[in-house]
Chains A and B, each alone.
Chain A
Amino acid sequence: MKFSITWLKDHLETEASLQQITDTLNAIGLEVESVEDPAERLAGFTVAEVLTAEKHPDADKLQVLTVNTGEGDPLQVVCGAPNARAGMKGVLGQPGAVVPSNGMQLRKSAIRGVESNGMMCSVRELELGDEHDGIIELPDDAPVGHSFADYHGSSPIIDVAITPNRPDCMGVYGIARDLAAAGLGTLKPIAFPKFDTAGACPVEIRTDDREGCPAFYGRVIKGVKNGPSPDWMQQRLASAGQRPISLLVDLTNYLMLAFGRPAHVYDLAKLSGAIVARRAKEGEQVLALNEKTYTLDASMMVIADDAEVHDIAGIMGGENSGVSDETTDVLLEIAYFDPASIGVTGRKLGLASDARTRFERGVDPDFLEGGLDLLTGLIVELAGGEASQAVYAGSPPSEAKVVTFDTGLTARLGGVDVPADEQRRILESLGFVVSDDWQVTCPLRRHDIEGPADLVEEIVRIHGLDKVESVPLPRVEGVARPTATPQQIMERKLRRAAAASGLDEAITWSFLPEAEATHFTEGNITPWALANPISEDMKVMRPSLLPGLLIAAKRNADRGAASTLLFELGRRYFRAQDGMSDERATLGVVLAGEKVQRGWASGKAASFDAFDAKAVAQQLLGHAGAPVDKLMVMGEAGEQFHPGQSATLRLGPKKVLARFGMLHPATLKVFDLDGPVAAIELFLDAIPAKKAVVGFARPEFTPPALQAVTRDFAFLVPEELSAETLLKAVRGSDKVNITAARVFDLFTGQGVPEGKKSIAIEVTLQPQEKSFKDADLKAIADAIVAGAAKQGAELRG
């Protein structure tokens, strides 16, 4: 909310400097967003007198003026304004001055061959108003050569952010009240212009819905003359950023901006019958002042006459009954609407207005009659006319909240000692009524006060939050105890393990474009999709961490990156049975581009393959505490992956801990990536929690007493037999003595029949109590060969 210092001083008797005022505003919770001094914008513009005015020799609409600047020789200025004439006083911008309206710096120039040394300015050029029919005409006594800013009396403009709990400060008067409470001066009483009333109100005014509109006050004023409002009001409205429109409209805006009191003025000639506050009929329409038509529903409050709706109550007036220059008779409306209902209607219609902001936050229920009288008085004073008696339909809420207050709470909650009499002074200066036994009656305008804590806030903010001293939080004795959960510890470890293995940690958006999200959506799952996404690229909550990383990989490829090795540790979003969110901790990895650059030793560049992905998956699962040795490599990584070069790692046949492999070419196409790209996803929620260890963290170290021996076996197996199946058969053939079996050679080609492959396995045999004898070794070897044979493997000769 913006206002000028001049305006503030209408209501606050103060000697305070601008700096003191802004510092105090900040200190009491009315945050200063900006201070603007129009004098700075008007630098270089001075009061000048036109000495002569001649027609331009080469242009019909231009004149050549000589202008007295107050010092030195008169200047020659070319001017296009029809009202420029000898003897008038106006505002001259000399070369070097910057025109506020367009930011152009004035220069000495030639206009159609005639030298011009500046510009005589219009109201609009100086951004003092809208008028642009001619240059500014100043009174005869305006001092020539004087700074125009000084002469004009422009005053610094302060913009404060008013928090939603303080609608009482959405008027200059309320701000003055807070400043006065903070010791910055004295609040002046409101000056009510006097007026006489003649007769009863000729129009019936009612509220038919006491819930939506508890009170509707109004009166008629006949014989007014609309027109431009006086300069003092235009200046004030302009300082608030409000464009002057016409006297009657400006007066309602002034009432709102000065006192936080929205009001509406109807052209009586456009109304017929009784004026009623009621709920709209379903589907009823109104053309609002913003020239848009709104369709209303039965929950919305309106002001209507017998014929039609004239006002979306508390939000915006109707175009059809608005005042114009021809208006002579008006109906004034000052109402109290249910704040919640205004908010709901405004949101439904998507319609914001200054009135709505105030009504939905809560206007002062105690300033209806006062507001009506003030508005009436100002209209009668400035626009003339004869006021009727007022109609008071309904009544605003009048029950004041009473809070039982304990002054000790200020120290207990606010952390600052404030003497009781100072607490009383502060509350009273804000309009609270404090009884001897600390029953505090709240002013009706303070809708935000709910209990004692709110009073503490009032006292502390006016007393000064800077007086709150730091007090150490009591701490537990001894060394700080661990606070992280096992899940947090695992995630921290995993993140650093992934980075240590050469991956860069990325953070990508939780939401994805629909196509990319759909591509990674499994089965009949419906992913969470936003109703109001900020863009179509940020619409669907990710069902996988890979799309975000692939989108990043694409960006990097476009930037010319040779490779992208990214991981992200975050959540995938699913729906739980009860409709709530099911968010699963997940680690995604994308390995795109070159694994190895071309090099002097390695030759050509190499890309990532599925075994790189497998290595990363196994390594990271190990760091996450998964029993890597017990995991099964199985298929079904998902249709986003290459069907022949991807797999899952499972604990038991159903529990999938990870998927990894090369991405399907169709996936690369969706993301517009050049392949091959390897990817891994670790499903951290599936990793079983480690059991708490009782006693020592590790069992005792007992190395075997006897040395292990190794034996090699080469098998011919059907080509489709997986290595894992063969290894399992080998390991299973003697579970006591065989401690390890690993593939050390894989071969197809010469010497291996078609449809077969040769797998060579190194088996580690660990003797238990006694060393192996030849017969033992033969028996084990026979068992291995027999076990392998069950999988169709034959020992190679």
Chain B
Amino acid sequence: MTDLTPQKEAALAAIAAADTLEALDVERVAALGKKGWVSLALKTLGGMSPEERQEAAPAIQAMRADIAAAIEEKKGALETAALEAQLANETIDLTLPAPDQPKGSVHPVSQVMDELAEIFADLGFAVATGPEIEDDWHNFTALNMDESHPARAMHDTFYFPDSAPDGGQSASSSGAVGQKRMLLRTHTSPVQIRSMKKQGAPIRIIAPGRVYRSDSDATHTPMFHQVEGLVIDRDIHLGHLKWTLETFFKAFFEREDITLRLRPSYFPFTEPSVEVDVGYSNEGGRRVVGGHGDDEGHDWMELGGSGMVNARVIEMVDLDPNEWQGFAFGLGIDRIAMLKYGMNDLRAFFDGDPRWLKHYGFSPFDQPTLSAGVGARP
């Protein structure tokens, strides 16, 4: 029997030298193909005697296995190299910009309205709404401001002409169109009236929304946002009002050192009426709510009007003032938003400038919740 060892050595060397899958396959065919020398050697086994075969077969089989293994190994190595080469070829510059995914924003006023709703929901207040184009009765008369009430003059009211016969410059006296004279609501207080008429008592609501005054300068816009609060129940007094506003401001401004100062004031729809001041300090030219207004470096600023709902108003909505009493308050939403988030120009709120909106606006996923906090997360 021929010694096949030199052939095997040569084949293994050739396999090792193959630098492509094609070259490797040529070697495979030469050795293990149908007419390869290993296959031919195997065929010679048939012509051998059992003794010879017993001796030769394992050697040839082993040779075949060695060569096959060498081919497999080489094939793996070549494939890996090829893949690596391909991947290297596919390299891209990932410092190039990706396509834009425009990021939108929620307006600070909407965000603050959601914050209000969340905080007050915990205190049992529902959110109520009403029309912005109101009639005279709901905006004034029902709030204890009849036709001739001097407080009406303080409201800088926008009127609609078909209902203001004296040219719309001001309230008319003729009463020709009576209480259906239409105007833009000057405050959110008419929602008190509508809610109490609809729902009766007891009631706890806040009513945020747009209000309008014919006033325009650096700190006033003819349209702005207010939130009304109303609690009517049996034993509600000024102390509850103070606590409610204190509790709200603590939650809203997310600090415990909120100090309120109540000052007597006048609103026709509350009696007693109180103005609510909050202590603040000046930090870097900005007003920062917190602390006691009489302390060094601090002062008081007016945040809103409030009081115990006037018995006349309670009568107006057909409730018995001997049974029901409560408080109401009104706050400027734009103003508390500015105090919380540091905007300084009210007019920019209504400009629709995406740069401002993205700067002061909120991620849609910053939904205020009690568990996560009602302030914007950094």
Contacts and interface: CB of A to CB of B under 8 A. Distances in A.
A645 to B, nearest CB: 22
Interface string B157-178: 0111100101111110100000
Given A510-B132, A533-B158, A564-B354, 19 more contacts: A27-B263, A29-B264, A343-B148, A413-B272, A413-B325, A414-B272, A460-B272, A470-B246, A471-B243, A482-B121, A488-B127, A495-B364, A496-B364, A528-B133, A531-B168, A534-B222, A551-B352, A579-B182, A600-B96
Interface string A441-469: 00000001011011011001100011011
Given A510-B210, A530-B160, A583 B364 contact: no
Contacts of A415: 237-242
Interface string A483-513: 1110010001001111111111111111100
A573 interface: yes
A492 B132 contact: no
Interface stretch (A68-76, A130-138, A276-284, A472-480): A472-480
B131 interface: yes
B117 interface: yes
A451 B223 CA distance: 35
Given A340-B148, A534-B214, A500 B264 contact: no
A255 to B, nearest CB: 21
Interface of A: 26-29, 31, 163-166, 299, 339-340, 343-344, 347-348, 350, 357, 360-361, 411-416, 448, 450-451, 453-454, 456-457, 460-461, 465-466, 468-473, 475-476, 480-485, 488, 492, 495-511, 528-534, 538, 541, 548-549, 551-553, 555-556, 559, 561, 564-567, 569-571, 573, 579-581, 583, 596-597, 599-602
B134 A581 contact: yes
B121 A29 contact: no
Nearest to B128: A485
Given A468-B239, A508-B350, A566-B354, A475 B265 contact: no
A478 to B, nearest CB: 11
User: What is the interface residue range for chain B against chain A?
Assistant: 35 or more
Interface in B348-366: 349-355, 357-358, 361, 363-365
A504 B132 contact: no
Given A468-B239, A496-B365, A499-B106, A510 B223 contact: yes
A456 B239 contact: no
Contacts of A339: 148
A597 B100 contact: yes
Interface string B261-295: 11111101001111100000000000000000000
A531 B353 contact: no
Contacts of B58: none
Contacts of A361: 150
Interface string B218-243: 00001100000001000111111111
B124 interface: yes
Contact of A504 (B100, B105, B134, B180): B105
B235 A505 contact: no
A495 B113 CA distance: 12
A2 B277 CA distance: 23
Given A470-B239, A473-B240, A566 B133 contact: no
Contact of B271 (A453, A506, A511, A579): A453
Contacts of B147: 340
A505 B106 contact: yes
Given A416-B239, A502-B102, A555 B353 contact: yes
Interface string B100-144: 111111110110001001001111111100011111000000000
A457 B311 CA distance: 13
Contacts of B242: 415, 468-471
A299 B172 CA distance: 12
B350 A471 contact: no
Contact of B160 (A163, A528, A534): A528
B234 to A, nearest CB: 10
Contacts of B367: 492, 496
Nearest to A532: B168
B349 A507 contact: yes
A488 B135 CA distance: 24
A482 B169 CA distance: 44
Nearest to B121: A483
Given A29-B266, A471-B239, A573-B133, A343 B150 contact: yes
A131 to B, nearest CB: 35
A541 B353 CA distance: 22
Contacts of A538: 222
